[in-house]
Structure 1
Amino acid sequence: MIFAVILAGGTGSRMGSTDMPKQFLEIKGKPILNHTIEKFLPNPQFEKIIVLSPKAWIGHTKELVRKHTGKNDKIAVIEGGATRNETIMNAINYIDREYGLDDDTVIVTHDSVRPFVTHRIIDENIKTALSCGACDTVIPATDTIVEGDGDAITAIPDRRRMYQGQTPQSFKAKLLRDSYNSLTDDEKEILTDAAKILVMKGIKVKLVQGETFNIKITYPYDLKIARSLLDEETE
């Protein structure tokens, strides 16, 4: 079975003066979250689309889903965790309780504030995760990457080997959970995303080609870009 896992558990502190998490901000009359969900709904491969929300916003999230998609049994809204990876583990535990996990159960995890993911990217994530166990969506780095210690350069890696990470990140769910549970507390503290869990365990994570427009809406300026991209989609 294959599940979409939409990560809407953040509070969006970098968006500035807003009284709600950024995934609930509206663009073109619809919350960003709903634009994102709509990219996954048409794909018949998904058993369920699981939306993970901050506890205080679960009721609001359910109402937005109902308002913009109607009564849709394909979507479940559940509580996220304190961190990104705990949120993903909540999704895996939900799948285990409701459906059971086997070695080929796949989760396609995606930022709720990346509403421009394409059907091609989603399909390639599913195919790669099924065949290889794990994959990460990336685009080649176009700028020189500089490593520093705060006030001085310590290294300049070869740009040809550098990529910018996006989402989806997709995994065989049991493999990811078992790998996460085998980490020490100190190792869990330094995690920045789910793919790093497997990298730390020496498990290969394949690359899937992303798109430059598959942006994450993080700052107020990103909202302007998103509105322009939505204008192009509707032309």
Structure 2
Amino acid sequence: MPKIAAVIVAAGRGTRAGSPSLRPKQYREIGGEPVLSHTLRAILRVPSIGSVVVVTHPEDAALFEDCSGRHDRQRLERVDGGASRQESVRLGLLALRKAEPDIVIIHDAARPFVDTALIERVVAAVDPRSGALPALAVADTLKKTAQGVVTGTVDRTSLYAAQTPQGFPFAAILEAHEQAAAAGRADFTDDVAVAEWAGLPVRIVEGSAANTKLTTAADLIAAKERHLEGNAQVDPRTGNGYDVHRLVPGDHVWLCGVKIAHDQTLDGHSDADVGLHALTDALLATCGAGDIGDHFPPSDPQWKGASSDIFVRHAAAVVRQKGGRIANADVTLICEAPKIAAHRGAMREAMADMLGIALDRVSVKATTNETIGFIGRREGIAAIATASVVYPGDPS
């Protein structure tokens, strides 16, 4: 299988999208999230894409951190862009050299509505000797003018409107950009133009009418109304998790990421944090990704004594790789002792940090078992967790 990487170009100032006092358009919000966050989700949703380099303006590092914190950071790298889009792409490609991809797709941050099917069409059309361009045949009649007067009609038979992502064999497009820079050519408007200049063939694949580029303030308003606040499909899901561990003699327990002094301890291969184990299963359940034992087998010695926040962070990353946004996490601890109330705030803060969500989206509750059963006899502690995750309604 070829190694696939992506460059997302997000270094522009977007002056046509509104007042310079506003954020650049890629950081303006639609549907409660920055445009760039939607674009990252669309790219990271494709599991075959490995490394993703995001090229931003040097002044936008903090804005990028806010966007990227909602996604799988292990696949993301930020680099500073240049004075032009062409230079920014070249710098992004240079940053990918260490990943040694076979194929790279180059996408504009201001196209947040690209879907998985389009991306896969582009990737499938790339081969070692040619690139791929998603495009739509021009439907409108085109006119030539001079001083505001129509002078002719343009034959639209072979005309296409170019979109991104544009796909290329990595080594070939990097060489083309390097050659263009060395030749002092900085006037190309997209990467297919660079490829054409360098003699790299590019074939057309079907684009998407939904894959619009947000350029003006009116585009942003329309995006809010039409795509995310009106007709956008979303896929809310709920996952449940349950875990129980035996209590044995000891001096502390770990519950929901907090160490609590106690006259017993929980027995388990890791730190036996029942709350976090249940939460891990709840998160994985929202995208059919198995359970904690599939990802962290108790037979594997590397997890002996491990901190259970590792499991939760991994499950959250899996959810985000699938395009999910964690909306809420709720854990109920069932035990006779220790008392939980004094530790609830610390538990919520720990879980919010692991999940990368706001504190008011995390809940921890506790109840006893009224001295009934193994919990009532203080032989063990159980936990029930529920996670709510919103996935995009991508028809692909």
- Calculate the TM-score normalised by the size of structure 2: 0.54
Q: Matches of 2:132 and 2:112 in 1, distance apart? A: 19
Match of 2:12 in 1: 10
Q: Matches of 1:88 and 1:149 in 2, distance apart? A: 35
Instruction: Report if the CA contact (8 A) 2:5-2:51 is conserved.
Output: yes
Residue 149 of structure 1, CA deviation: 5.5
Q: After superposition, what is the alpha-carbon deviation per residue over 1:7-27, rounded to whole angstroms, capped at 9, x for unaligned?
A: 111000101214211000001
Amino acid at match of 1:88: V
Q: After superposition, what is the alpha-carbon deviation per residue over 1:14-46, rounded to whole angstroms, capped at 9, x for unaligned?
A: 012142110000011100100111111121111
Give the number of the structure whose residues are more often helix, by fraction.
1
- Pick from 209, 217, 220: which aligns with 1:220? 217
Q: After superposition, what is the alpha-carbon deviation per residue over 1:51-72, rounded to whole angstroms, capped at 9, x for unaligned?
A: 1110010122023211x22x62
Q: Matches of 2:202 and 2:196 in 1, distance apart? A: 7
For the structure 1 residues 48 and 183, does the alpha-carbon distance in structure 2 shift closer, same or farther, using more than 3 Å as the test? Answer: closer
Q: After superposition, what is the alpha-carbon deviation per residue over 1:87-111, rounded to whole angstroms, capped at 9, x for unaligned?
A: 1111111111x3246xxx2111111
Match of 1:229 in 2: 227
Q: Matches of 1:200 and 1:156 in 2, distance apart? A: 28
- Pick from 16, 25, 28: which aligns with 1:25? 28
Residue 121 of structure 1, CA deviation: 0.6
Q: Matches of 1:187 and 1:153 in 2, distance apart? A: 36
Match of 2:55 in 1: 52
Answer with 150-159 or 123-132: which moved more. Answer: 150-159
- Pick from 40, 45, 49: which aligns with 1:42? 45
Paired residues in the alignment total 229
Match of 2:264 in 1: none
Q: Matches of 1:153 and 1:196 in 2, distance apart? A: 28
Residue 189 of structure 1, CA deviation: 3.4
Give the number of the structure whose residues are more often strand, by fraction.
2
Amino acid at match of 1:234: Q
Report the secondary structure of 1:51's partner residue: strand
Matched, 1:91 2:92: yes
Q: Matches of 1:129 and 1:181 in 2, distance apart? A: 20
**Runs (4+) of structure 1 moved beyond 3 Å?**
147-156, 183-187
Amino acid at match of 1:5: V
Q: Matches of 2:128 and 2:107 in 1, distance apart? A: 19
Q: After superposition, what is the alpha-carbon deviation per residue over 1:114-143, rounded to whole angstroms, capped at 9, x for unaligned?
A: 111111110011111236521111111111
For the structure 1 residues 27 and 187, does the alpha-carbon distance in structure 2 shift closer, same or farther, using more than 3 Å as the test? Answer: same
Greater C-alpha radius of gyration:
2
Match of 1:205 in 2: 202
Matched, 1:140 2:137: yes
Match of 2:185 in 1: 188
Residue 79 of structure 1, CA deviation: 1.1
Residue 148 of structure 1, CA deviation: 4.4
Structure 2: stretches of 5+ with no match in the other structure: 235-396
Q: After superposition, what is the alpha-carbon deviation per residue over 1:205-234, rounded to whole angstroms, capped at 9, x for unaligned?
A: 111111112111111111222121123223
For the structure 1 residues 199 and 157, does the alpha-carbon distance in structure 2 shift closer, same or farther, using more than 3 Å as the test? Answer: farther
Amino acid at match of 2:121: E
Amino acid at match of 1:61: F
The 5 A counterparts of 1:62-211 are 62-66=65-69, 68-69=70-71, 72-96=73-97, 98-100=98-100, 105-130=102-127, 133-148=130-145, 151=148, 156-183=153-180, 188-211=185-208
Q: Matches of 1:81 and 1:154 in 2, distance apart? A: 39
Give aligned-pair identity as a percent.
26
For the structure 1 residues 193 and 63, does the alpha-carbon distance in structure 2 shift closer, same or farther, using more than 3 Å as the test? Answer: same
- Calculate the TM-score normalised by the size of structure 1: 0.89
Structure 1: stretches of 5+ with no match in the other structure: none
Q: C-alpha root-mean-square deviation of aligned residues, in Å?
A: 2.1
Instruction: Report if the CA contact (8 A) 1:23-1:112 is conserved.
Output: yes
Instruction: Report if the CA contact (8 A) 2:52-2:77 is conserved.
Output: yes
Amino acid at match of 2:66: E
